[in-house]
């Protein structure tokens, strides 16, 4: 394995995980879970496919776990609270905590009844291993077997740790401009397409924009704003009722 090619494969893996994190916050989180933004059918199809090949996540399961988190934040019933489970249990074991709710059809039906499986899910998107296999095959086709698998491994670890960090770090370290248990971390926001502005998000879950003050960088919102300029997105709610310092849209 050539060192510079290995570094390139690691960078590709990190880039893929950043893309997957952007898709997660825009599509799974802001569009589906909170209906903060309505996306055009073509863009929805692209983001749905990217979710499938880069994460294998079934959207209705992710939505159910996330809505349950908002319904029971840091109290019994929260699927992934560091205050209940402990920081490391969430940061390193988020997948297992996620699966406890995601694998329970009764809870998925209860929290995501507006997202029943459709024909596309039954034919394609519910087959997580097929999606992940396609994603890995694409990396192998572009980078070759060794570097492709390295990039896939880096992406997997990075994506899981970043998403876990939103739940673990986002309820442990950072500022609390609003009166809720979540935290704002500018650094975490930089590497999670804005998700690190988690205190803002708990203050205004239906806001399509998580940045609410100068210096807060929210790549998810920048993406939604660009999509809106192209006519591909309708923002339903952008700003919290309690935003202290509005940011120019
Ligand atoms: Zn939270
Ligand atoms: Zn949320």
- Pick the ligand that lies closest to the CA of residue 66: 2
Give yes or no for a contact between 193 and 22, defined as CB atoms under 8 angstroms apart: yes
- Pick the ligand that lies closest to the CA of residue 35: 2
Phi, psi (deg, nearest 5) at residue 230? -85, 0
- Pick the ligand that lies closest to the CA of residue 72: 1
Question: Does residue 139 register a pLDDT over 70?
Answer: yes
Distance in Å, CA 182 to ligand 1 centroid: 6
- Pick the ligand that lies closest to the CA of residue 36: 2
Question: Does residue 248 register a pLDDT over 50?
Answer: no
Structure tokens at 108: 């998925």
CA angle 248/202/34 to nearest 5° reads 80
Distance in Å, CA 66 to ligand 2 centroid: 6
Question: How many of the other CB atoms lie within 10 Å of CB of 56?
Answer: 18
At 79-93, the pLDDT tens digits run 999 999 999 999 999
How many structural domains are present in the chain? 1
Cα separation, 173 vs 182, in Å, equals 8
Question: How many of the other CB atoms lie within 10 Å of CB of 181?
Answer: 17
Please provide the average confidence, as pLDDT, over all residues in the chain: 94
Q: Report the pLDDT value the prediction gives residue 1, as an integer from 0 to 100.
A: 81
Any domain includes 152: yes
Distance in Å, CA 78 to ligand 2 centroid: 13
CA–chain centroid gap for 248, Å, is: 24
- Taking alpha carbons only, the member of 17, 44, 16, 50 closest to residue 30 is 44
Residue 50 belongs to domain spanning: 3-170+231-238
Distance in Å, CA 120 to ligand 2 centroid: 25
Any domain includes 190: no
Any domain includes 182: no
Please give the model's pTM, rounded to 2 decimal places. Answer: 0.94
Any domain includes 111: yes
Where on the phi/psi map is residue 86: left (φ > 0), alpha (ψ -120 to 50), or beta?
left
Q: Report the pLDDT value the prediction gives residue 3, as an integer from 0 to 100.
A: 87
- Pick the ligand that lies closest to the CA of residue 81: 1
Q: Report the pLDDT value the prediction gives residue 239, as an integer from 0 to 100.
A: 60
Q: Report the pLDDT value the prediction gives residue 243, as an integer from 0 to 100.
A: 44
Cα separation, 211 vs 246, in Å, equals 9
Distance in Å, CA 151 to ligand 1 centroid: 29
Question: Does residue 240 register a pLDDT over 90?
Answer: no
Any domain includes 26: yes
Structure tokens at 120: 């596309």
Distance in Å, CA 55 to ligand 1 centroid: 20
Distance in Å, CA 160 to ligand 2 centroid: 17
Any domain includes 219: no
Any domain includes 104: yes
Binning pLDDT at 50, 70 and 90, where does residue 247 land? very low
Binning pLDDT at 50, 70 and 90, where does residue 123 land? very high
Binning pLDDT at 50, 70 and 90, where does residue 117 land? very high
- Pick the ligand that lies closest to the CA of residue 172: 1
At 168-191, the pLDDT tens digits run 999 999 999 999 999 999 999 999
Question: Does residue 11 register a pLDDT over 50?
Answer: yes
Question: How many of the other CB atoms lie within 10 Å of CB of 118?
Answer: 10
Instruction: Please report the sign of the dihedral spanned by the C-alpha atoms of residue 228, residue 231, residue 233, residue 236.
Output: positive
Percent of the chain with pLDDT over 90: 93
Distance in Å, CA 205 to ligand 2 centroid: 5
Distance in Å, CA 144 to ligand 2 centroid: 38
Question: Averaged over 51-73, what is the pLDDT?
Answer: 98
Cα separation, 146 vs 139, in Å, equals 10
Cα separation, 211 vs 213, in Å, equals 6
Question: Does residue 200 register a pLDDT over 70?
Answer: yes
Any domain includes 81: yes
Q: Report the pLDDT value the prediction gives residue 242, as an integer from 0 to 100.
A: 43
Distance in Å, CA 36 to ligand 2 centroid: 10
Binning pLDDT at 50, 70 and 90, where does residue 64 land? very high
């Amino acid at each position: 394995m050539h060192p510079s090619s290995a570094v390139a494969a690691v960078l590709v893996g990190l880039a893929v995980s950043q893309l997957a994190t952007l898709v997660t916050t825009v599509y799974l989180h802001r569009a589906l879970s909170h209906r903060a933004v309505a996306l055009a059918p073509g863009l929805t199809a692209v983001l749905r496919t990217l979710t499938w090949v880069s994460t294998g996540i079934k959207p209705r399961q992710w939505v159910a776990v996330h809505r349950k988190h908002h319904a029971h934040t840091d109290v019994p019933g929260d699927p992934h609270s560091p205050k209940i489970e402990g920081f490391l249990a969430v940061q390193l074991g988020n997948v297992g905590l996620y699966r406890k709710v995601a694998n329970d059809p009764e809870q998925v039906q209860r929290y995501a009844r507006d997202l029943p499986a459709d024909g596309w899910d039954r034919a394609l998107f519910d087959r997580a291993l097929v999606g992940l296999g396609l994603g890995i095959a694409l990396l192998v086709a572009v980078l070759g077997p060794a570097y492709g698998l390295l990039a896939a491994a880096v992406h997997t670890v990075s994506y899981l740790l970043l998403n876990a960090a939103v739940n673990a770090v986002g309820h442990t370290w950072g500022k609390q401009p609003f009166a809720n248990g979540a935290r704002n971390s500018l650094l975490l926001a930089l590497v999670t397409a804005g998700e690190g502005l988690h205190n803002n998000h708990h203050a205004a879950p239906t806001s399509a924009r998580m940045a609410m003050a100068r210096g807060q960088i929210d790549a998810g919102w920048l993406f939604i704003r660009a999509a809106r300029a192209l006519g591909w997105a309708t923002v339903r709610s952008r700003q919290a009722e309690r935003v202290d310092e509005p940011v120019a849209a």
